[in-house]
Amino acid sequence: MDVSTMTIREAREKMEAGELTSEALVKSCLERIKADNDDLHIMLSVDEQALEQARKIDERRAAGESLGPLAGIPVALKDNLLVEGWEVTAAAQVLEGHISSYDATVVSRLKKAGAILIGRTNMDDAAMGSSTETSHYGPTKNPWDRTKVPGGSSGGSAAAVAAGFVPVALGSDTGGSVRQPASLCGVVGLKPTYGRVSRYGLIALASSLDQIGPLTRTVEDAATVLEVIEGRDEHDATSVELSNTTVPELLEKDLTGMTLGLPKEYFIEGMDPEVKKAVMEAVAELEHAGAKIVDVSLPHAEYALAAYYIIMPAEASSNLGRFDGLRYGYHSSGKDLQDTYSRSRGEGFGTEVKRRIMLGSYTLSAGYYDAYYRKALKVRSLIKKDFDEALKTVDAIVTPTSPSVAWGIGEKFNDPLTMYLSDIYTISANLATVPALSIPCGFSDGLPIGLQIMGKPFDEHTLLRIGAVYQQKTDWHTKTPA
């Protein structure tokens, strides 16, 4: 029995049937991590207590207790999610050695559902990056080709699932940081609607864009995890009370009666022809499953990246103001308090983080606020309106997740603008606050390609249904790296 490719559903069924214990499952995950993590550099730490937790779940199961939907399932967490008593660094030197004093809401919900928290995954420094190369602890390698990046910023979480370390990991997505690495690593990644999942206990990057989402092998598993972590939380005022949710009847229907839109602005120059081919084949598959395919227009698509690179650094520079070198994190003493602030921050933050703090401080500063920040918020309205209009005529919008497959480690590292362009298809969903799913849809030269499906706010159900039907008809998601 190969547990390294097992889905949550399979593991749960085997545990319920008494054919597998959580202890055996967790042990196998830990062995795989031990054997391959030195090279892949996916996990920043592994929790020694995981096996003990697994044994406890097995005992409770043996005693006939009613257990949660993730009972005994190993889960890895991006290193920007707080687990009480664990170190949490956001892969940033500025937080090295910091111990979380409380659980993030998603973490307490995972624990309540019986999940076994395995450890922390690598990421870009403070979630700023698209390749996991800016991590203070060094890059993660893509399990499909160890000379390539896994994408980012949740590169460790995507690679952990692709490498068979865990069946599920959580990531966070501000401009594509769950979906783009999911695409580059050949796994499923979901960015929920803004407000669906509580951000309490997530180290904030840009508060109006951030959402936590699952990375899994199947769409069905993503739905299972979403159901556990979603919903209103009094600690996050932007989280929303949900009336219904996602999982039931997912697998029962085809796509008859559904209309999917292809935005013409996304299928332009710059896209890898192999990516385009795989995406169009996936679209044909969805049409074959009963969906009607039409063209839609998102006229302001070409302005999304520019608006994002004003709004995100502006919010990030404000959020990172809390790193003062005093209450927590990296500390460097100066001659007075101001000097201590600027030394602690100047030494503790990495290059890309400082670049974005500078950018955000500039666009928010007196004399520039209107020209940059206010302008970007107006353009954000236009982008959201584009989605509102298009989604009046279609049930979901289908695009590539990333314009290219995984690139070489180091290739784009010193050219921030080129790096930013790798997120060109994912950032609009964050600006428009809509949900978006990435699923594997093919390969180019042995590297995975991702299909992105974006939908109406709080209509994750439709995205998951489309993704689940696609996975019933194809086997891309069952492929594993050699």
Partner 1 sequence: MSLSNEEIRHIAKLARLHINEEEIEDYREKLGSILEYVEKLQELNTDDVPELQHAADVSNVLREDEIQGCESAVRKRAIDNFSNREGDLLKVQAVFEDRTE
Considering the complex, what minimum distance in angstroms separates the CB of residue 417 from partner 1? 5
Is the CB of 56 or the CB of 343 nearer to partner 1?
Answer: 343
Q: State the burial class of residue 34 (Cβ atoms within 10 Å of its Cβ: 0-12, 13-18, 19+).
A: exposed
List residues binding partner 1 (CB under 8 A): 84-85, 98-102, 194-195, 208-209, 234, 237-240, 300, 302-303, 305-307, 309-310, 317, 321, 324-329, 331, 336-343, 345-347, 349, 354-355, 357-362, 365, 371-372, 374-382, 384, 416-417, 420, 433
Is the CB of 74 or the CB of 325 nearer to partner 1?
Answer: 325
- Can you tell me the distance from the alpha carbon of 269 to that of 141, in angstroms, rounded to the nearest whole number? 28
* β-bridge pairing 188-191 and 396-400: unpaired
Residue 114 CA to its chain's centroid (Å): 22
Taking the alpha carbons of 437, 440, 442, 443 in that order, is the dihedral positive or negative?
positive
Active site residue ranges: 78, 153, 177
Reference 143, options 125, 128, 161, 127; nearest CA is: 161
Q: State the burial class of residue 445 (Cβ atoms within 10 Å of its Cβ: 0-12, 13-18, 19+).
A: exposed
Please list the alpha-helical segments (H only) found in 169-248. Answer: 179-185, 219-229
- Six-digit token string for 369: 């606020």
Task: Tell me if residue 398 falls in helix, strand or coil.
Answer: strand
- Six-digit token string for 276: 């385009």
Is the CB of 267 or the CB of 303 nearer to partner 1?
Answer: 303
Considering the complex, what minimum distance in angstroms separates the CB of residue 344 from partner 1? 8
Considering the complex, what minimum distance in angstroms separates the CB of residue 431 from partner 1? 8
Considering the complex, what minimum distance in angstroms separates the CB of residue 39 from partner 1? 32
Considering the complex, what minimum distance in angstroms separates the CB of residue 239 from partner 1? 8
Neighbours of 306 (CB within 10 A): 13
Considering the complex, what minimum distance in angstroms separates the CB of residue 211 from partner 1? 10
Per-position DSSP letters for 428-467, written without gaps between them:
HHHHHT--EEEEEEEEETTEEEEEEEEESTT-HHHHHHHH
Considering the complex, what minimum distance in angstroms separates the CB of residue 361 from partner 1? 4
What's the first-to-final CA gap in the chain, in angstroms?
18
Is the CB of 413 or the CB of 476 nearer to partner 1?
Answer: 413
- Going across the sheet that includes 211-216, the strands are 43-46, 116-121, 74-78, 168-173, 211-216, 188-191, 436-444, 447-455, 396-400, 259-263, 292-296
Q: Which residue in this structure is represented by tokens 């790296």? A: 481
Per-position DSSP letters for 130-167, written without gaps between them:
SSS-S-TT-PPPBTTBTTB---SSSHHHHHHHHTTS-S
